[in-house]
Each structure stands twice: as structure tokens, then as C-alpha cells.
Homo-oligomer: A and B are copies of this chain.
Amino acid sequence: MLSSRKKYIVNGNSGIKTQIQFADQKQEFNKRPTKIGRRSLSRSISQSSTDSYSSAASYTDSSDDETSPRDKQQKNSKGSSDFCVKNIKQAEFGRREIEIAEQEMPALMALRKRAQGEKPLAGAKIVGCTHITAQTAVLMETLGALGAQCRWAACNIYSTLNEVAAALAESGFPVFAWKGESEDDFWWCIDRCVNVEGWQPNMILDDGGDLTHWIYKKYPNMFKKIKGIVEESVTGVHRLYQLSKAGKLCVPAMNVNDSVTKQKFDNLYCCRESILDGLKRTTDMMFGGKQVVVCGYGEVGKGCCAALKAMGSIVYVTEIDPICALQACMDGFRLVKLNEVIRQVDIVITCTGNKNVVTREHLDRMKNSCIVCNMGHSNTEIDVASLRTPELTWERVRSQVDHVIWPDGKRIVLLAEGRLLNLSCSTVPTFVLSITATTQALALIELYNAPEGRYKQDVYLLPKKMDEYVASLHLPTFDAHLTELTDEQAKYLGLNKNGPFKPNYYRY
């Protein structure tokens, strides 16, 4: 039913262009679409550190590696075996990572503290399906602290940090996930979260829509008790809107992907830094004086352009939308068609959400040593398939870096095989993940506590007030001091002193 090939595209896509309708993905919901990942995979300290990795490795590399976790008998120190992870013994190391993440997620910790007394999630039974990382663990333990019971599976077969999963299992969270699951394992884990005797979820937290899909298909009756779905990926949101259009959505759903704060951080602010990071780590190039063309001037393109301009690159922009095009002009970038500059540029960056933006014809005309990469959506923007022809030679020069060599010796430098540079070759700062996780937690609280009738069987954006609250929880990180309206001013502006402060159409 599901192509397992698709499961292997780990870092395959982004989810940044929420406004785009994927018209050629008009699959019905029960045809599983290409699994679309997230920007939000953070580098774990344990993965990247030689030192700490070796200590982790001592567990990972142990002989029972060969055994599938499904075949192991494991118990945590309290005697529970309601979980399935790679190795429960890695718990201590995972705990340390969670503690470090806690320090970098003050908003979630503040939420934990503020809402702990009132336990706004008391009675909530949340089933979750997300990447399982230290940051997710901080989210789960926050949900627990607010009163919820949680069961969790991974939304990606490769992204689970085994030691974090172990730490969660050790703390009593029923977690079903390990790095390197098979297709079959993937669905088995999800099923183990949902299909439990004496426990039925009343909230769903999903990332990609697979969990929602599974329940729709296998346990449709379960929705009777479910108060809502919180979905954070472009793909999952897209599937929800399709369900809604088709009249098949039977509970309220919250689209947290499009909240202001999350969008700005996932796209503009994060990409402003990760474009530089991704290019440096892969190519060690110098930015000063380089000619760059950025295809697309949405939030991602704006971030890329600003960063490269600041580093002394000469940046050209292509656009299809005249408003964004005019913004590019006013921000000091020459607006061109790709063909006009393709022979002269040193770097080509796609941020369009579109497909075949860079074609074989463009690739043929690029100069020697031109670097080509994708910061946009999925792996469709560069027509990489067109480079898999006999006359071209591929040479892998580093991880994530291929030289594609033309018969005349011309080389182009293709990064991450056209997949997302920032996901493949950079990392997502914990601060960005903190914003996402806090948004998810607030959306769960809102849906769970909303009075009857506030939300119907539809897809909702996060209420602006909550969006503002997420932002306010992150201000202390910057020692930032918000001004409060006086009564007189609030009256003058016709605003509540606690917000929301802007109408829904405000553009920030």
C-alpha cells in the first residue's frame, strides 16, 4: 500500500509554503501522500559530539542492536513495560539531553510553571505522533505536568533519538519509537499508541497526518470522544483542509503551522541564518563578492537575500508575484528572469515551493563551479532527475555535496541532491523548536478547554491572542520588556489591555 521508498526520504521536504495548494496531490486521504517532513530537526548534542557520541555509542553498538525492539523484553525501573524503544538503558544519557533542552526552552518551562497549578490538561488523553527529540520530550513532559496523559509514536522512521525515547520510557511515558524503523514498524508503533485496552485518546497531536489517517482508517469510532486535532506540518494541514472540503472532518482541527510566530521563525528568521550555515558547512565558500540568484522572494527568500547581502554577496531575485517582486526591488535586489543571470552567478538558491524552477537547460548554462541548492519545498524545485543521464558524471566529494561533471569538464556543485539545504546541512536552533512546541501546547489547551460550540468540525488558525501569548513567553529570553497600555490608551485604541492587539488581516 505504501511505497517504502518514500519512507526513506528522510530530510526530503519542508512545509513552508502554506499558501500553496498542491493541486497535483489530489489523492484522497486514504492514499497516503509522500511523507513530508519538517524543518524542525535539531541536531542533538549527542549526535554531533565526538566525545559524547562515543559514550552513547557504547550502548548503541552493543550486540542486541541486531534484535528488533519489538522482539525485546524491556522494563523501566518502575517495572513498566508499556513502551517500545531501542534500549531502555540509554535513559540516563537521554535525560541529560532533555535537561539541556529544558534550559533552552524557557517558554515551555514558564508555561509549565504558570499552568501547573490549574492543570488545564487534567483529564486530557493525548496521543502524539511527532519527531522524537529532546525538544519533543520537553513538550511531552510539559503536557504531563499540565495534567495530561500521553502516548507517543514517531512521525519519521529515522529521526528518533533512541536515548531520548529511552529517557521518556523510563519516566513512565508510553513511547513507541526507534531510529531505523521499518515501514511495518512505523504503523505498528502508531497502533500501539492508539489501540490500548482501557485507554482512549481524546486529543491528537500530529505532524504529517499519519496518526490522524490511521485512526480514520482503523478506529473511526474513536473520533466520537476526540475533542480536537492539533497539526503542525504543511502536509498534514493540507490533508485536513481536503478532509474539511470533502465534509469528512468530524472534529475541530487546529492548524498551528500558519500561526504568525511560527511562520516568521520557521521561515524568515531561521533561514536568514541557516542559508549561511548550510552553504558554509558544505562548501567552505566565501560569500563576499559572490553573485547569487535567489528564486522566490517569500519569507524564506527574504531571509536568504538579507543574509547574503549582509555578507557582501551580490544578489539577484526571481519572482512570479508582482507584489513580492516590488518588495525585492525596494529591498535593493535586481529582479530578473533566471535566464538573464544563469551564466554569471556563482550560486543558485531556490525558495519557491514550486517545481522545476531550475531546469536541465539552466543547469547546462551555468558556469563551472556554480553551486545549486534548495531552501524551499520538498525536492521538486531543482530538476535533479534531469541530471541522471549517462553523459554526466556524478562525484560525491563530501557528505551532501555532489559534483556533477559535464563532458567538457564543467562541474556544478549540487547540495543535498536538491533536497532542503537547511534541513540536510544545517540545524534548527532550539529557540525555533521552542516556539513550535509552545504553540502546540497552547493549541492543545485551547481545543481541550474550549466551550462547546466555539469550534466546529473545521480547520482553525490559532487564535491571535494565543499567538501573542507564545511570543510573550519568549520575550524573557531577550530580556525584552513589553510596554503595557494605560486604561486611557486602551480605551482610545478600543483594545483590551491584554490583547489581541491586531486585526486578523494585519501583516506584521
**Which chain A residues have a beta carbon within 8 Å of chain B's beta carbons?**
19-24, 42-43, 45, 48-52, 100, 103-104, 258, 260-261, 263-265, 269-270, 272-273, 276-277, 280-281, 284-291, 306-307, 309-314, 318-338, 340, 344, 353-357, 368-369, 380, 396-399, 401, 426-427, 429-432, 461, 467-469, 471-472, 474-475, 477-486, 488-489, 491-495, 499, 501-508
Contacts and interface: CB of A to CB of B under 8 A. Distances in A.
Given A261-B323, A321-B468, A468-B321, A335 B493 contact: no
A50 B492 contact: no
A461 to B, nearest CB: 8
Given A397-B45, A483-B320, A483-B338, A327 B508 contact: yes
14 contacts: A21-B495, A52-B397, A104-B369, A264-B326, A269-B286, A277-B281, A280-B281, A307-B310, A320-B501, A324-B508, A327-B508, A337-B482, A356-B486, A507-B508
Contacts of A330: 264-265, 269, 288-289, 312
A461 B368 CA distance: 36
Contact of A49 (B48, B100, B401, B468): B401
Contacts of A396: 49, 51-52
A504 B501 contact: no
Given A51-B398, A307-B310, A335-B475, A492 B355 contact: yes
A192 to B, nearest CB: 32
Contacts of A287: 273
Contact of A312 (B332, B427, B469, B477): B332
A460 to B, nearest CB: 13
A471 B297 CA distance: 14
Contact of A280 (B277, B310, B483): B277
A217 to B, nearest CB: 26
Contacts of A479: 291, 344
A287 B467 CA distance: 22
A62 B321 CA distance: 53
A20 B354 contact: no
Given A277-B277, A277-B280, A337-B481, A272 B429 contact: no
A152 to B, nearest CB: 24
A22 B492 contact: yes
